[in-house]
Homo-oligomer: A and B are copies of this chain.
Amino acid sequence: MSKKRTGQRHKNKIYFEDSELDFYLQAFPLGYQTYGGATVGEVFYAASHINEKDPDSWVEEWSNLAARVEKGAARSLERGHAASARGAYLRAFTYYRTATPLLHASDPRFRATWEMMRSCFRRAAGLFDQPIEPVEIPFEGNTLPAYFLQAPGDGEKKPTMIMVGGGETYAEDLYFWGGAAAVDRGYNALLVDMPGQGATPFEGMHHRFDVEVPMGAVVDYLLGRSEVDPERVAAYGVSLGGYLVLRSAAFEKRIGACAVSTPIVDWHQALIDAMPPLLRSAPRFLFGALTKLGRLFSPTQQVAFEKFFEWQVGARDIPDALEKFRPWKVDVGEISCPVLCMVGTGEAATFKKQTYACYAALGSPKSLRVFTEEEGADAHSQATNLRLAHQAVFDFFDEVLARPETASKRRLAGGA
């Protein structure tokens, strides 16, 4: 097992020496497998052919696997076997998406892989008995890419979960991070990329601290749908989405409950805390050079950092990005809906610190869930145990969204 380190996202390494690659393996194909997004044989065939020292081999093995599985999906579809095709397209989606974190945003293969990934997801989406509907939510002259999953039934008003991911997810990913679990429990789900997330920078969108503005457009959209019970709208955010959802809840009172993993209330502080001490005190003119030396972060992390800070955040360099994150704060006292705060014991110290501080400061009904190593759920965003996370999240939503109001409060007081 690796030693605890800066920016740590998981502890129990299982296959790759490189901690980032091992996290991607566990979080994406192996994590999604529990909702049918992969099979162990396919995953480890690709993994066993990857040379960790060669990022291109990562990209090629996952892309080639995806293409093979996609071909099989097309064969089943041609012959009218919808469920077989759907299953294979979902796996092809996962494998293409697993290739993407090692591709720079400027690499033409990135956009091509993202397009194939999305195409596979959309083919699968249309093959569910209740098809997943791609939707575009109008926002400031642009559109936020999203998917609407309708709860089983004949379209009567149902509780609805808005799902928001992080700095490395696409709206399509959120099917595995919460969409499938929602529908299984009789919820509608809206999977959405906020500005800056996923591939929205291709459309000129960047991350913004005041995410309550686009969230307002999302809730407007949802409340215009006849399947949505306006009294039972919940939001679930993972990774950066923890902030995005928590911040939204402080302003957007139509959100009736939220679950956040993890509830970061001050991103500027979190970034400073996560930096090695040397970088923290480096003068600005040295900063870029130091980070680009690539000795402080792994080459793998370097791609992720560039893609996030430069492409998604729209910063010139990391010092500029840090400046941009100054207003990323949540006034927890403004939140009035029930909140489930979630964190893993294997996460970085700053994440744990902010989670406990947020939980303490909340004045609304609240619950704290700390996921442990023994539960196989200590990793960032509960990436290695999505089903356990969903058990906590939806059991919480079930109880706090239930009416009459008094019943939900009584249940919450009973502890989770």
Question: What residues make up the interface of A, taking CB atoms closer than 8 Å to B?
Answer: 1, 12, 14-15, 26, 30-31, 33-36, 38-48, 65, 68, 72, 76, 79-81, 83-84, 87-88, 91, 129, 152, 181, 184-185, 373-379, 382-388, 390-391, 394-395, 398-399, 411
Chain B neighbourhood of A39, CB < 8 A: 31, 34, 376-377, 384-388
Q: Does the CB pair A34–B36 fall under 8 Å?
A: yes
Shortest A416–chain B CB gap in Å is: 9
Count of identical protomers in the assembly: 2
Chain B neighbourhood of A36, CB < 8 A: 34-36, 387
Q: Does the CB pair A68–B374 fall under 8 Å?
A: yes
Residue of B nearest to A129 (CB): B152
Report the separation of the CA atoms of residues A30 and B378 in the bound assembly, to the nearest whole angstrom: 19
Residue of B nearest to A372 (CB): B45
Task: Please classify the interface of chain A as helix (H, G, I), strand (E, B), loop, or mixed, using the class held by over half of its residues.
Answer: helix
Report the separation of the CA atoms of residues A289 and B218 in the bound assembly, to the nearest whole angstrom: 73
Which 9 pairs show the lowest CB-CB distances between chains A and B?
A: A41-B376, A41-B384, A42-B376, A41-B385, A45-B376, A30-B40, A84-B391, A39-B385, A83-B185
Q: Does the CB pair B41–A33 fall under 8 Å?
A: no
Shortest A74–chain B CB gap in Å is: 12
Residue of B nearest to A373 (CB): B45
Shortest A333–chain B CB gap in Å is: 30
Interchain residue pairs with CB less than 8 A apart (25): A1-B48, A12-B41, A12-B44, A12-B45, A14-B15, A14-B44, A14-B48, A31-B40, A33-B33, A33-B34, A36-B387, A39-B387, A40-B376, A40-B385, A41-B377, A41-B382, A43-B376, A45-B375, A65-B376, A72-B391, A76-B391, A79-B399, A83-B184, A88-B391, A91-B387
Q: Does the CB pair B395–A79 fall under 8 Å?
A: yes
Chain B neighbourhood of A398, CB < 8 A: 80-81
Residue of B nearest to A183 (CB): B83
Given A35-B36, A387-B91, A395-B79; A374-B45 close (CB under 8 Å): yes
Shortest A258–chain B CB gap in Å is: 18
Contacts A41-B377, A41-B382, A83-B184 known; 11 new A-B pairs at CB < 8 A: A12-B44, A31-B40, A34-B34, A39-B386, A40-B385, A42-B377, A44-B384, A79-B399, A81-B398, A83-B181, A84-B390
Chain B neighbourhood of A84, CB < 8 A: 185, 390-391, 394-395
Residue of B nearest to A402 (CB): B80
Shortest A79–chain B CB gap in Å is: 7
Shortest A391–chain B CB gap in Å is: 4
Shortest A65–chain B CB gap in Å is: 8
